[in-house]
Amino acid sequence: MKLKSLILFCLIFFSSSVAVYAEMADAVYRRLDLPIIGDNAHAGLIYHYDNEAETRYVIHSAGGSFGSPNSVRTGDWEAFLEGELYLGKRTKRNPSYTIRKLIIEEAIDQIGANYWAQNPWAQWNEPNSSPQSGDGYFRCDGLVEYCYEQAGINPCDNNTSLYWGGPVYQFNQFSTAIQTTPEQVVMSFPDSVDSNTPTVAHRTEITLKANARDTHSDLSYRSPYIFHYAQYVNGGWSDWSEIGRSEDSMPFTIPEKNTLYAFCVTAVDNDGNAQNSVSYYLKHAQTFTFFVRSSGTAGVPIDSQDSDFTGATDYFIGDVESGTRVTLTAPLNQKETQFSHWEGCDETSGTDCTFTVTADKNVVVHYTVPKYNLSVASAGVSGVEINSLPSNSSGITDYVVSDISAGTSITLSAPENHDNKEFSHWTGCDTASQTDCNIAMTSNRTATVHYNDAPSEYQLSVNALGASNVQITSSPHGFGGITDYEKTHIAAGTRIALTAPLTTTGMPFLNWSGCDEISGKTCSVAMSSDKRVTVSYGHILKPPVSPLPANGAENISVTQNLEWINGGGADSFDIYFGTIPPPGESEFRIKQSDLKFPVKNLAYNTTYYWRVDAVNSNGTATGTVWEFTTQPEPVYLSGDFNKDFIVNEQDLEELRRHWLQSEDHNNWSEKYNLDRVADPRTGKQIINYRDLAVFADNWLKTNE
């Protein structure tokens, strides 16, 4: 069944809303009454047509009193007519779109110009000095004439005749304007013009697309396309319904699925002229939704041969046409999990899931955390006890630990000796450090610990620290000696006890180191490898005590001796002193054996921090950080030249030596100028009786 006439509908639509058609840059005229004589008519230029608002705009010099500002303006059609009778539209040589555009661009530049000035009469078509500067003058017909002339067209050959003849004269010099309509009005979606083979839509949300051109005025500058649709229901087509006006695309929601629709588009140019497309057909096919979910992990990226079906779980795809065949592909690994299987597919192959959409469908991809086995073996020996972190991977070689979660990190630790054999190395580890083997479980793994035959003889070294030539006795006999000494070719497994004297050369015994066991002055070793032991002598080293100034003391002199008492065992002392707490390496001052450290020229009213470390041949005992605060800066009376807080004869002697010296004297010193009044005769500062008066006043104060 054929559609109802879209062409009739569109023609009725436009003829009912737009009464006058004219091309862009056509000259249009209206008059006051008949007959037309003189300047009782008005002229303007068609600017453009707003299809969305169904409004035409005109650029014209609107008039008013002579010289009225802002006469050249843009107005809608009603503002141009002002209720008067429309005379007609005119042009010359039927200009192309390019020429028409030049005419309008020139008219836009003249916006803001004044109405013409009668005196001098030449100011009736004088342009703005710059675009829209507002300093030009135009009569309505003068504006039309000027804009055409700038585009290379001269409507009136005689401007004097135009000046006196006015718009009516110009109207008669023009030709009747020829109208054009948009061309090649088509739709690119849907694109089928056969209702038997309509374009198929799989979704209810679609976008209609159109295209057209106009060779004279171009398409309407706003919403040049009007989209319509009709629906085939109950064996016939519905009336056309307008969807809306827009640019070259229009979103549309299909009201009913599995239904045939017809669409057409009307293109409107900048003159308000319209042209319709043919009818285009679209059918919405039966559609379904499928859901893709995951188990064991989340956010699995799913690929597909159709990019519309890809996504990250969990997601769904709607409006899928019935009968569509879908193949989804999951990754083999996702985060720390591994692909297991698909569920809900028609068929599967590896990580692929394939199904045909005949109804709403759910498919699930399953992932599991893989489990691996760890085998721990030994070479060169058997039955080696292996410790591990975590502890559940420990055992006695050879053994296997099963069901270890992927990504688990394990450290295996082997003993240094086993069955009279020595540890050699690990194999099969990611990294190894001494007797440790580190493994990350990313697959089934095997680690092997290797042992070699142990040597039959070892060496024993005995040394002393803090003393020399120490006599060491042994059990069994034969392993003693005077330090430092070595014993070689000792049979493996031999147990030796070494005993040191309580004192040597006046130095007391401190301790043993490097032994398997220690009991008092006795060191015991089992010769399973080369051994090195050390006996230490010396006084027990303690940090200094009893600081002077006392810790936290205040009002301390800026010249001071820092003193302390040896806490015991120190041969020398490292002194740290400064204003930064606690004093560090940058505050180190000296290493000395004295119990006193002088400081001077300290800053007034400042806290100082100091530390004394005790040092001997056995090491260092770090001292306590002590602190004290210096005295406030003293205030001296005028005349106390030697700053002993007493103004007396000693200060008087200094004042005498500078008596009557002026400021240009070689030995002049501001220090003795106690009174700041200049000599009235010379205008200079001088040490005289005025300074003596100040001195005497303070003498009395300090001796009261």
At residue 58, does pLDDT exceed 80?
yes
At residue 162, does pLDDT exceed 70?
yes
Q: Which ranges of 130-197 does DSSP label H, i.e. alpha helix?
A: 140-150, 159-173
CATH number of the domain encompassing residue 491: 2.60.40
Q: Are residues 442 and 555 in the same domain?
A: no
Q: Are residues 36 and 139 in the same domain?
A: yes
**What's 152's DSSP letter?**
T
Mean pLDDT of 64-90: 88
Comparing 443-457, 575-589, 604-618, which segment has the lowest mean pLDDT? 443-457
User: Tokens at residue 604, please?
Assistant: 């007034």
Give the end of a domain, one of 259, 284, 309. Answer: 284
Q: Is residue 4 part of a domain?
A: no
pLDDT tens for residues 405-447?
888 999 999 998 888 788 989 999 999 999 999 999 888 999 9
Residue 541 is predicted with a pLDDT of 83
Look at residues 354, 365, 193, 313 and name the one whose alpha carbon lies nearest to residue 264: 193
613 vs 83, higher pLDDT: 613
Q: Are residues 312 and 431 in the same domain?
A: no
Q: Are residues 171 and 41 in the same domain?
A: yes
Q: From CA 665, how far away is CA 667, in angstroms rounded?
A: 6
Q: Is residue 55 part of a domain?
A: yes
Residue 120 is predicted with a pLDDT of 54
Give the end of a domain, one of 255, 284, 313. Answer: 284
Q: Are residues 231 and 271 in the same domain?
A: yes
Q: Is residue 11 part of a domain?
A: no
Q: Are residues 615 and 492 in the same domain?
A: no
Residue 170 is predicted with a pLDDT of 87
Residue 2 is predicted with a pLDDT of 39
pLDDT tens for residues 236-273?
888 899 999 988 899 999 988 778 999 999 998 887 88
Residue 121 is predicted with a pLDDT of 56
170 phi and psi angles, rounded to 5 deg: -65, -40
Domain that holds residue 170: 22-176
pLDDT tens for residues 331-379?
999 888 889 999 999 999 999 999 999 889 999 999 998 889 999 999 9
User: Tokens at residue 303, please?
Assistant: 């690929």
- Residue 415, SS3? coil
Q: Is residue 339 part of a domain?
A: yes
7 vs 472, higher pLDDT: 472
Q: Are residues 253 and 300 in the same domain?
A: no
Residue 219 is predicted with a pLDDT of 85
Q: From CA 470, how far away is CA 505, in angstroms rounded?
A: 9
CB atoms under 10 Å from CB of 632, counted, come to 10
Give the chain's length. Answer: 704
Q: From CA 89, how far away is CA 170, in angstroms rounded?
A: 12
Element (H, E) at 697: helix 689-702
Residue 33 is predicted with a pLDDT of 53
Mean pLDDT of 558-574: 91
385 vs 704, higher pLDDT: 385
- Residue 78, SS3? helix
CATH number of the domain encompassing residue 227: 2.60.40.10
Q: Are residues 559 and 607 in the same domain?
A: yes
At residue 13, does pLDDT exceed 50?
no
Q: Is residue 639 part of a domain?
A: no
Mean pLDDT of 581-608: 93
Decide: residue 211, CB within 10 A, 0-12 exposed, 13-18 middle, 19+ buried: middle
Q: Are residues 37 and 167 in the same domain?
A: yes
Which amino acid, residue 367? Y
User: Tokens at residue 30, please?
Assistant: 């209206």
Q: Are residues 91 and 152 in the same domain?
A: yes
User: Tokens at residue 500, please?
Assistant: 């040191």
How many domains does the chain fold into?
7
At residue 32, does pLDDT exceed 50?
yes
Residue 71 is predicted with a pLDDT of 92
Sign of CA dihedral 64, 65, 66, 68: negative
The pLDDT > 90 percentage for the chain reads 51
Q: Are residues 37 and 168 in the same domain?
A: yes
Mean pLDDT of 546-563: 94
Residues 426/432/437/439 CA torsion (nearest 10 deg): -120
At residue 546, does pLDDT exceed 90?
yes
Comparing 152-156, 290-294, 667-671, which segment has the lowest mean pLDDT? 667-671
Q: Is residue 163 part of a domain?
A: yes
Q: Is residue 15 part of a domain?
A: no
Mean pLDDT of 571-581: 94
Residue 574 is predicted with a pLDDT of 96
Look at residues 517, 477, 480 and name the one whose alpha carbon lies nearest to residue 499: 480
Q: Are residues 401 and 433 in the same domain?
A: yes
Q: Is residue 89 part of a domain?
A: yes
pLDDT tens for residues 164-216?
888 888 888 888 877 788 889 999 999 999 988 899 887 788 999 999 988 88
Give the end of a domain, one of 232, 266, 284. Answer: 284
